[in-house]
Amino acid sequence: MSLKIEGVNRSCGDLSLKDIRLEVRSGEYFVILGPTGAGKTMLLETIMGIHRQESGRILLDGLDITDIPTERRGIGYVPQQSLLFPHMTVRRNVEFGLRIRGMPAAQLRAKTDRVLAELGILDLSDRFPASLSGGEMQKVALARVMAIEPRLVLLDEPLSATDPETRQMLRDYLKRRQSEAGTSFLHVTHDQIEAFSIANRIAVMRDGMIMQTGSPKEIASNPKNEFVARFLGYENIFNGQVVRCSNGLLEVDVGGAIIKASAGGSGWRGCGEGEALKCVFGIRSDDIHITNPDVESENLFKGIVEGYADLGAIVKVSVRIDRGHIFHVVLMANAFIGANLDRGKTVWIAFNSRSVKVLSTTGALNA
């Protein structure tokens, strides 16, 4: 089932949806990624019909569902709070949707057993929700929706109440189930690892607006603006002026330091020498390398180690270059130990022009 949202607007207190436009293709795993308060839950509830949009259209397989009641939309919905029936056992909760569809008893039991087993909760069949952990309740809520095999599934932070091991298991389960059944999934989360590990496509949302849509690779490699870059972990973000563009390279002056960036895919249509256009650009910490002064690199700077943060498998190192700018570099723990990077040590950092992402520009050549 395809889902198309055309210019949907809705306001409720401090939250609002602003001209939402997106399409979930049939059989696609689509993730909406954004911080708390972005409007993700409001969007799902509007698709469900819990809220009515003030303008715009919501289409399922080309049919405008604005006036169709929630219960007749044929959408499976797992809310952030599992909302299980407290007076029913786990089994009865999962069977509920199948019973009201009139499924024969033998078939109903077999199907319920299969879904419970897939989620590892068959042994919880006779327990009541009050005795379950948050993660167990979320598994039951997922099982209840998966049992009825809807053609479109909406998932609101479905893994937020789970421990790391369960989270990984459920990620694998959801992706496998969606792929095998050819069902369309719309999954919202604030967790980047969750989003990038399961999505066919991602939309980044902020303040009720869709900021960027694309494949995980497109979103990660080419953020369209500063918000998306910062949200995705681009810690090295600078303001500068483009002083030259030649042979596909931009030369950006950042307080006297000249940084070279690839003009490809950055929105630049060509510029001449002597142009002075303001821009904001970003570099991922793991695209910057600590190296030696003899390496050939488009961007090579001498600096001093200001400090570091040991994060277990990785170490985040802060390096201040001669012009005073601080660059954040991520190293694997063994590489950090091997480099003997004490505070105050002189080092060289390098990164290529393709790692420099132009996030915004001000001037005549801004696309």
Count of domains forming the chain:
2
Q: Within a domain: residue 236?
A: yes
Taking the C-alpha atoms of residue 25 and residue 295, their distance in angstroms, rounded to an integer, is 46
Taking the C-alpha atoms of residue 185 and residue 120, their distance in angstroms, rounded to an integer, is 21
CATH code, domain with 356: 2.40.50.100
The amino acid that residue 15 corresponds to is L
Interhelix angle for 105-118 vs 134-148, to 10°? 130
Instruction: Say how many C-beta atoms besides its own lie within 10 A of residue 164's C-beta.
Output: 8
Taking the C-alpha atoms of residue 38 and residue 303, their distance in angstroms, rounded to an integer, is 38
Q: Within a domain: residue 141?
A: yes
Q: Do both 222 and 103 map to the same domain? A: yes
- The DSSP secondary-structure symbol of 353 reads G
Q: Do both 220 and 263 map to the same domain? A: no
Q: Within a domain: residue 278?
A: yes
* Structure tokens belonging to residue 178: 């969606």
Q: Do both 262 and 123 map to the same domain? A: no
Q: Do both 235 and 187 map to the same domain? A: no
Q: Do both 209 and 267 map to the same domain? A: no
- The secondary structure element, H or E, covering residue 149 is none
Q: Do both 115 and 153 map to the same domain? A: yes
Contact 208, 15 (CB under 8 A): yes
Q: Do both 140 and 81 map to the same domain? A: yes
Taking the C-alpha atoms of residue 364 and residue 367, their distance in angstroms, rounded to an integer, is 8
CATH code, domain with 83: 3.40.50.300
Q: Of 356, 326, 329, which is closest to residue 223 (Cα–Cα)? A: 356
pLDDT digits (tens, 9 = 90+) for 72-116: 999 999 998 888 999 999 999 999 999 988 989 889 999 999 999
Single residue among 173, 206, 229 that ends a domain in this structure: 229
Q: Do both 184 and 241 map to the same domain? A: no
Q: Do both 79 and 19 map to the same domain? A: yes
Q: Within a domain: residue 367?
A: no
Single residue among 203, 229, 255 that ends a domain in this structure: 229
Q: Within a domain: residue 44?
A: yes
Q: Do both 182 and 142 map to the same domain? A: yes
Q: What is the per-residue pLDDT for 264? A: 64
Q: Within a domain: residue 78?
A: yes
Contact 38, 89 (CB under 8 A): no
Q: Within a domain: residue 167?
A: yes
Q: Do both 273 and 332 map to the same domain? A: yes
| C-alpha dist (Å) from residue 174 to 7, 80, 159, 189, 197 | 29, 16, 10, 14, 11
Domain that holds residue 245: 230-362
Q: Within a domain: residue 161?
A: yes
Q: Do both 225 and 235 map to the same domain? A: no
- The ranges of the chain with pLDDT < 70 are 264-276, 363-367
Q: What is the per-residue pLDDT for 45? A: 96
Single residue among 229, 264, 281 that ends a domain in this structure: 229
